[in-house]
Amino acid sequence: QEAIFIDGTKIEANANKFTFVWKKSIEKYHNGLIEKSNQLYDELLEKEIMPEIERENENELALEDLARMVEKVDEVISEYDRKIEDSSDVAERKALRTERKFPKQARKKLIDYIERKLKYQRDFEIFDERNSYSKTDPDATFMRMKDDYMKNGQLKAGYNIQVATEGQYVLAYSIFPNPTDTRTLIPFLDEIEQRYFKLPKHIVADAGYGSEQNYDDILSNRKREALITYNMYLKEQKKKHKHNEFNTANWDYDKEHDRYTCPNQQQLVFKYRTTKTDQYDFKREFKIYECEDCSGCPLRSSCTKAKEGNNR
């Protein structure tokens, strides 16, 4: 066995398409909840209904903090109840009931905040690294399915099935909740090695799997060859791309002086190296070049979105 060929397909889950929960929406609601609970905390302090509590996080009230706030407000409400019961003066009882109104409203809000915070925490646990899930099948993720016969893109709850083949025989498979093939390759190769067989010399896949992290894993960690085109490969073969004078890949490069020449014949000189870490903790190194002077360039609007006074 010299090579394995890897590809994936999306299978629709047995879940209603109107049962989606989106991570961005939950983050938005959660941030709103943090803001409202902080406002209520400040208001309770200002009205001297409760003393300041010791918080681990000054920016966000934890569930334990909200529970302690309910206890403090309960004590205040109980004290008002006792005073109302002990008083025989109608006007005084009415005034006490009016004063009790805000602590009772605050208690109701706090209990609502606790219930919502618990729900959002459960949502975040289900999401893990995903951006969505289905209420009727929490393991399923909403992903773009293949177009239907009317060429309509379908966004439905589903699973990403990864298959490794050779000679038209299926040698291994696995199921993933994330919709992009790029993020499935490394865990799928791990699973093949752990559960199926030793990896052959060549790992073959289409451009959907092409990423620096995947190449690094196959070449450096597994000591195999990656026969995987990167996602810009086909675009780079087109004439339009090759003749685009504003595409830096087409600019003249002076290896001796480590600099590029832009369409306006300005020099872009090497400035510094930088490292960027993506959301999955993969580090990539970049060399940064800067044009010596972009001011007054007639090609500026086509070449860069940098503000006037800044160079590309």
Query: Which tens digit of pLDDT belongs to each residue from 14-59?
Result: 888 788 999 999 999 999 999 999 999 999 999 888 888 888 888 9
Question: What pLDDT score was predicted for residue 129?
Answer: 86
The CA-based angle 243-248-249, given to 5 degrees, is: 70
The CATH 3.30.420 portion of the chain extends over: 3-13+137-233
Q: Is the pLDDT of residue 255 over 80?
A: yes
Q: How far apart are CA 251 and CA 240, in angstroms?
A: 15
Element containing residue 233 per DSSP (H, E): helix 233-236
Q: Is the pLDDT of residue 220 over 90?
A: yes
The CA-based angle 294-295-298, given to 5 degrees, is: 80
Question: What pLDDT score was predicted for residue 17?
Answer: 79
SS3 293: coil
Using a pLDDT cut of 70, give the percent of the chain over it.
98
Amino acid making up residue 308: E
Q: Which of 155-159, 201-205, 231-235, 300-304 has the highest mean pLDDT?
A: 201-205
Q: How far apart are CA 244 and CA 198, in angstroms?
A: 44
Mean per-residue pLDDT, 280-286:
87
**Is residue 260 within 8 Å of residue 254, measured between CB atoms?**
yes
Question: What pLDDT score was predicted for residue 150?
Answer: 67
pTM, entire model:
0.72
CA distances from 99 to 38, 105, 112, 136, 173 (A): 22, 11, 21, 45, 66
Mean per-residue pLDDT, 178-183:
88
Query: Which tens digit of pLDDT belongs to each residue from 65-117?
Result: 999 999 999 999 999 999 999 988 889 999 999 999 999 999 999 999 999 99
Question: What pLDDT score was predicted for residue 228?
Answer: 94
Mean per-residue pLDDT, 202-226:
94
Question: What pLDDT score was predicted for residue 296?
Answer: 84
8-state DSSP, 221: I
Query: Which tens digit of pLDDT belongs to each residue from 124-161?
Result: 999 988 999 999 999 999 988 876 666 666 788 999 99
Question: What pLDDT score was predicted for residue 281?
Answer: 83
Higher per-residue pLDDT: 10 or 306: 10
Question: What pLDDT score was predicted for residue 145?
Answer: 83
The rounded mean pLDDT for the chain is 90
Q: How far apart are CA 199 and CA 281, in angstroms?
A: 25
> What is the architecture, at CATH level 2, of domain 3-13+137-233?
2-Layer Sandwich (3.30)
Indicate the pLDDT class of residue 234, thresholds 50, 70 and 90: confident
**Is residue 8 within 8 Å of residue 188, measured between CB atoms?**
no
Indicate the pLDDT class of residue 300, thresholds 50, 70 and 90: confident
Q: How far apart are CA 312 and CA 307, in angstroms?
A: 9
In angstroms, how far apart are the furthest CA atoms of the chain? Answer: 97
